[in-house]
Structure 1
Amino acid sequence: MNGREFLILFLYFLSTNANQIHRRFEYKYSFKPPYLAQKDNTVPFFEVFGNAIASSESIRVAPSLRSQKGSVWTKSKTTFDWWEVDIAFRISGRGRIGADGLAFWYTSEKGDYNGEVFGSSDKWNGLAVIFDSFDNDNKHNNPYIMAMINDGTRKFDHQNDGQNQALAGCLRDFRNKPFPTRAKIEYYNNVLTVLFHSGMTNNEQDYEMCLRAENVVLPKNGHFGISAATGGLADDHDVFHLLTTSLYPPGQIDTIGQVPAPDNEKISQEYKEYQQKLERQKEEYKKEHPDEQKDDLEDWFETDNQRELRQIWQAQTQTAEILRELSRKLDEVLGRQERTLGLISASANQVASGGAQQQPQYQQQQQQFNTGTDSGIRRQEVDNLINTQNILVQSIRDLKTQLNDLNQRSEMLITNQKQGGSQGGAFDMHSLVTEMRDGMNQVKMSVAGVQARVNQPQPLQSCPTSNCLGLTPFLIAIAVQLVIILGYNMYREAKGNQSKKFY
């Protein structure tokens, strides 16, 4: 786009916004998917002629066969002076050169699909925006978009592709694009503007200026139409939608279809009286039939507070499930530690019973244990078990603290909600719900962290060859660890009883 076209486009949008044009969608002059065509292949408010085929998603105005012509026209004429039409179409074919092209029409009368101009009649009275894809004059200036005005007397010059008769135009390639190409044709205050979308992007607002012409006079009332034709070469000419919008100057649309003020007040008063009468009848019916009263529809829906509470209980249930899974994995770790203690106890018994005679064998076993070369449990595995247990104990303590805090807040929220009517809303429900949501998020993050730590394999570290832990300090450490395990079992039983009360 050069500087001149950019300036014209900028002035066009600036003038459009400054005038504040009123727009109204005209459904009787439009079609779009889905369900574009009915079961009998007709399009509402439009007539399909010739070889055009209507489906639920598009209208194939001319198929990719030789010498095909088709068109689609509105049944009724327009009732507005100024308009804007948005067309989305695709022209595609296997050949490097297409034929013949597609045309948009605004004419005083419908065209004949057997005509000679792109599937419509020649010597038309009105506007034609032609998308010509075949180079008849061999000047290598196609595909080309041009606008032509005809008063019903001129014949279209096919040999020169109508170049001498065109009002204005632009050289744009609209064949075989990845996305549908679009054209926006606007006629307002005798100014004709054509914007073009190349179909290279999926952005529906990616338009560029193609042409703009002033002092264009068209018939007051006319038909909209789209036609296409093929010759020796052939393309598929598909139209996806045609959207028509009527344009009105500022202040004019306010008087169109507006109910007079006295009638509007009368209708509003009648509506209010009818509503009051309906409410009285409902009250009388409830008094006369107390047994047949049904629950109010409001009981079918939940309030914001109820929704927040339901989400909190669901999150707590998920947290409890995760804690059960962590407890199961912790039991597995404890089982491995018990097996480790059994092996160590057996080794100690053998050392105590063998005495000095088994001293060399004990030293060999001790060396193998320190270096981790025997086939049984290794030193680094024991270290990993101890580290994992420490992480689990600390994480479970954090979870206990957070769950206790969340439990207190939940009880406070439930108590305040029950007493909310008598207290007149003395507490801040929103802040409490927010705090509970934050607490649940912290619990979820903590549980996710614990689960990640448990699932993450601990790296195996090589045991040093010297200064290894002796048997006696190791037995003392295991005894301390057993005390911790017993304390944890007592804590878990107390926690299980508390969870049963909580749920």
Structure 2
Amino acid sequence: MSTIGLILLLCAVLSGVVSSNSQTVHKRFEYKFSFKPPYLAQKDGSVPFWEYGGNAIASGESVRLAPSLRSQKGAIWTKQPIGFDWWEVDIMFKVTGRGRIGADGLAFWYTTQRGDYTGEVFGSSDRWNGLAVIFDSFDNDNKHNNPYIMAMLNDGTKNFDHKSDGTTQLLSGCLRDFRNKPFPTRARVEYYLNTLTVYFHNGLTNNEADYELCFRAENVVLPRGGYFGLSAATGGLADDHDVIHLLTSSLYSTQQAGGQQISNDEQQKLSQEYQQYQQKLEQQKEEYRKEHPDEVRDKDGEFDDWFESDGQRELRQIFQGLGQIQDVMRDLHKKVDEVIGKQMNSLSMLTAVYSHSQGQPLQPTQPGQVPQMPALPITRQDWEMMATNNQIMINTIAELKGFMIEVSRKSDTLLAGGAGSAPSPQLLNEMRDGLNQVKQTVASVAQRMAAAPPVVAEPMCATVSCVSTTTLLVVVTCQLLVMFLYGLYKERKEAQAKKFF
């Protein structure tokens, strides 16, 4: 019966794993809601499909939302609202400054209406309706918990609490440092099936896949048809807030009705737009080469970039060493997690076997859930106590063995000294002392076993009467003493019989 229960349990676990992995998430890059270098900004300074204002400056390599000057604010917003429900946004940015403390920070927005370019909340409007993922670098509440990444939801009626850094209003967050990193820092904001997940890249390595989980929040309902935006602001202290790229992808699964199906006409239209954009880009490159022949010639004959200075080499080696250390630590974490998982699996299997051996059925489960394992009756402390008691028993048996060998040796000496003569008082005293030592040893063992706590919380002998270890040792010792005295008595009788003959 227990084997059948274990097979059913394994089948339930496998079915749960298969059902959880049955849905596959597909991504579609949305170029109208993205920007990236090179040639991020056009000749007239505009960014395709985006609008920026305030103190923001767009160049070919990045968008500087707020420069390192006091009281600067800027923002960039999409021109059109998004037309998909689930999305993923990858943001690469750099926050750099000469001060030990930065200010104020930048924010990623998803709102029903585009915010201001010089607003009060990190360069955008207060009382927004939607989501804000804020990268706060200044500690307003003096709790030494900045730089901090936090997510906030607003229905258009709440004001941002600047004095507490929004800690009383946040949905979730994590403490991460994103200032003055050797490589650009990155954040990945994912919203899928009403679950908001934020991953963070600390910028210590150049590995694009080196993300870590910042926070995850479920049951997050956002309004449809919102706008994407980025904003930043400075105060008395100032940092450069540069956004290198923002890449947007729509998410959908194969099980969604209709999905993200694209008609042939729309595909042809998109391909034509892409080809026209590529032709326009190549034409602008060629015009730039004709207008600046000296710069093109200098770049062709320049070899300074092929060599590195001593400082650059030392920095590169330091960064490579830090990257290798981080990779080793990540592998160690994975191995420790695997070991812990194997231990938990072994304990679960032992618990299931013990439950079936005691006749306890498995706990009922709901459809689609893994059956709950009963609690293990023997804990780690119980196992350690059992091992200690076993070691005490082994040491005591070794001492008893030594005493029995000594008593046997003395009896042999007594018999060899004279078969018909009576034992001397000295030998009798030694035998009496030996017996007293045996009694004292047995008494000390009994005290140790009585003082030791029980090994398990519940008695393992439920239907059969148990015999304690102390009683067993006392009985064995008494039997050995009786056998020894009987042997002495028998040999003495045999010696007297030989004497008469």
TM superposition score normalised by structure 1: 0.48
TM-score normalised to the size of structure 2?
A: 0.48
